[in-house]
């Protein structure tokens, strides 16, 4: 049985950030993810806004971690070579009552240590966003706010952790946890067993169930569902700024979010639900998104929607909407990184530091590695190269001369690289997250059969075994006629 100092359960942005943090020190660690890829929980269903930290109540854990996390992002993006843009945020007021809320947020932000916040008037807003609703009066402006592609960040964290010695294992759902007589934990998955001295529970919406496997009943969780939609890159009058309406008591409201790749996301609704697996879109939710965004951008063309999606925010109940990051009070060596609801993306790098400190407190020796490499090389993005570079690349490897995804200009070379990458892509969606093949306006209508064929060839699997994402999501049945391969 493999023994590690630390096992992290859950490969979302929280778990992968922790894995990368662990990889900096002289210790052994593994990450176990139940899905066929990392980043397929809440981490693939969110808005990607790195909130700067004017929302959380001053003094709360979330306030401290959110601001610290957001401040770490620009440097992380350089070190790990993931995409980041700096559109800033407007929180828009439409009335005098709203203005009072904005001032309150400004005060929170200043107390939390967020830089450069200001209340701006309608004309200043309109300079940046000429298509803004006529009744928008003023806004809290957070110029430092950035936006990332959250699963790209999780993949970057995981790849860098792996390059520095952390084992990243997918398709490994933890189904049982025992504390042995020697004080070590034993973790059981359907096909393997592991032992470790410390557990970090980063299982997202399932953190309460994972805790229960170890006999811990310190909290209960429920998901808060959100619908989102994606608009085509070629939409006219695209917003340049993340724009939220002045929030109500429970939600941040429906926002438009420019993405790293030039699309616009509209999100999110917020509804408490019971089913942790049903990441469905709801008809009224989608309509609420369209209606909501029209309050900010009345002319936004809903005909440009290319996809709807959804996510579940992991919420620990009766916890003041805060994160639950602590060592268990009943089982020593078991650390919770649970209830990572919004802004979990923004906070992840700082959650990782907090977990490191908790491990330190719990008795694990935290000694930096001398050979730690903080950098991750960017994989080839054909579309972003100059024509001369593209030409040279094709001469080196003709697979880069074969376009697979026409909407996002993705070559076969990039897809093969993703399949054989540090964290290998083995499904259509895994390839889509790494290369963007299938992300564009035709939504894989053109490239799906090609990607299936490449996966089948590279992995030596029959095409009828190739999945969209989760086990059981095979795309095709058997041959129509006779003995097809």
Ligand X SMILES: Cc1cc2nc3c(=O)[nH]c(=O)nc-3n(C[C@H](O)[C@H](O)[C@H](O)COP(=O)(O)OP(=O)(O)OC[C@H]3O[C@@H](n4cnc5c(N)ncnc54)[C@H](O)[C@@H]3O)c2cc1C
Among 103, 222, 443, 461, binds another protein (CB under 8 A): 443
Nearest residue (CB) to ligand X, 292 versus 314: 314
Asked whether position 34 contacts ligand X by CB under 6 A, the answer is: yes
Please tell me the distance from the alpha carbon of residue 430 to that of residue 433, in angstroms, as a whole number: 5
Please tell me the distance from the alpha carbon of residue 384 to that of residue 409, in angstroms, as a whole number: 10
Number of Cβ within 10 Å of residue 275's Cβ equals 10
**Region of 21-29, 37-45, 359-367, 417-425 interacting with ligand X (CB under 6 A):** 37-45
Among 4, 6, 12, 117, binds ligand X (CB under 6 A): 12
Considering only residues 336 through 375, tell me which ones interact with ligand X, judged by CB under 6 A. Answer: 340-346
Asked whether position 52 contacts ligand X by CB under 6 A, the answer is: no
Asked whether position 457 contacts another protein by CB under 8 A, the answer is: no
Phi and psi at residue 30, to the nearest 5°: -140, 155
Please tell me the distance from the alpha carbon of residue 92 to that of residue 132, in angstroms, as a whole number: 10
For every residue of 360-393, DSSP letters joined together read: HHTT----B-TT-----PPPP-GGGS-HHHHHHH
Structure tokens at 482: 């006779």
277 binds, among another protein, ligand X, none (CB under 5 to 8 A by kind): another protein
51 is catalytic: yes
Q: Which of 252, 221, 251, 249 is nearest to 314 (CA)?
A: 221
Asked whether position 268 contacts another protein by CB under 8 A, the answer is: no
**Region of 75-83, 126-134, 188-196, 469-477 interacting with another protein (CB under 8 A):** 469-477
Q: Is 271 helix (H, G, I), strand (E, B) or coil?
A: strand
Nearest residue (CB) to ligand X, 411 versus 417: 411
Nearest residue (CB) to ligand X, 48 versus 333: 48
x-marked contacts with another protein along 396-435 as a string, rule CB under 8 A: --x--xxx--xx-x--------------------------
Q: Which of 23, 77, 20, 22 is nearest to 48 (CA)?
A: 77
381-420 burial string, b = 16+ CB within 10 Å, else e? ebeeeeeeebeebbeeeebbeebbbebbbbbbbbbbbbbe
The catalytic residues are: 51
Residues at the interface with another protein (CB under 8 A): 229-230, 234, 277-283, 285-286, 303, 305-309, 387-388, 390-391, 394-395, 398, 401-403, 406-407, 409, 441-443, 445-446, 448-449, 453, 463-464, 467-482, 484
Residues at the interface with ligand X (CB under 6 A): 9-15, 32-35, 40-43, 45-49, 51, 173-174, 202-206, 210, 226, 228, 267-268, 311-314, 340-346
């Amino acid at each position: 049985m493999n023994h590690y100092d630390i096992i992290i359960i859950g490969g979302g942005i929280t778990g992968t950030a922790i894995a990368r943090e662990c990889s900096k020190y002289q210790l052994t660690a593994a990450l176990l993810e139940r899905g066929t890829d990392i980043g397929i929980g809440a981490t693939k269903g969110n808005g990607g806004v790195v909130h700067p930290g004017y929302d959380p109540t001053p003094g709360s854990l979330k306030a401290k971690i959110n601001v610290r996390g957001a401040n770490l992002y620009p440097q992380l993006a350089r070190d790990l070579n993931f995409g980041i843009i700096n559109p800033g945020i407007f929180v828009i007021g439409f009335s005098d009552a709203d203005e009072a809320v904005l001032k309150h947020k400004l005060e929170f932000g200043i107390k939390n240590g967020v830089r450069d916040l200001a209340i701006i008037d309608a004309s200043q807003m309109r300079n940046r966003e000429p298509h803004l609703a006529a009744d928008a009066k003023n806004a809290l402006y957070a110029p430092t706010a950035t936006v990332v592609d959250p699963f790209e960040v999780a993949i970057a964290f995981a790849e860098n952790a792996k390059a520095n010695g952390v084992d990243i294992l997918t398709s490994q759902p933890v189904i049982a946890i025992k504390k042995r007589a020697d004080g070590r934990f034993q973790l059981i998955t359907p096909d393997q067993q592991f032992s470790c001295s410390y557990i970090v529970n980063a299982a997202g919406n399932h953190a309460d169930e994972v805790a229960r496997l170890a006999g811990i009943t310190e909290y209960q969780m429920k998901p808060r569902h959100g619908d989102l939609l994606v608009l085509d890159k070629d939409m006219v009058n695209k917003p340049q700024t993340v724009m939220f309406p002045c929030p109500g008591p429970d939600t941040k409201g429906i926002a438009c979010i420019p993405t790293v790749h030039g699309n616009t996301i509209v999100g999110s609704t917020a509804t408490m639900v019971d089913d942790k697996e049903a990441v469905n879109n709801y008809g009224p939710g989608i309509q609420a998104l369209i209606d909501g965004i029209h309050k900010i951008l009345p002319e936004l063309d809903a005909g440009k929607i290319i996809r709807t999606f959804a996510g579940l925010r992991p919420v620990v109940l009766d916890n003041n909407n805060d994160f639950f990051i602590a060592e268990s009070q009943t089982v020593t060596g078991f650390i919770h990184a649970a209830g990572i609801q919004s802004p979990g993306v923004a906070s992840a790098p700082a959650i990782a530091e907090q977990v490191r400190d908790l491990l330190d407190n719990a008795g694990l020796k935290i000694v930096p590695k001398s050979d730690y490499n903080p950098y991750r090389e960017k994989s080839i993005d054909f579309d972003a190269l100059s024509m001369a570079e593209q030409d040279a690349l094709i001469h080196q490897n003709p697979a880069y001369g074969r376009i697979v995804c026409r909407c996002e200009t993705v070559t076969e070379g990039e897809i093969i690289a993703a399949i054989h990458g540090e964290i290998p892509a083995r499904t259509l969606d895994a390839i889509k997250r790494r290369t963007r093949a299938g992300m564009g306006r035709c939504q894989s209508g053109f490239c799906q059969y090609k990607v299936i064929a490449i996966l089948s060839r590279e992995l030596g699997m029959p095409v009828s075994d190739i999945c969209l994402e989760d086990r059981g999501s095979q795309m095709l049945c058997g041959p129509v006629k006779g003995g097809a391969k």
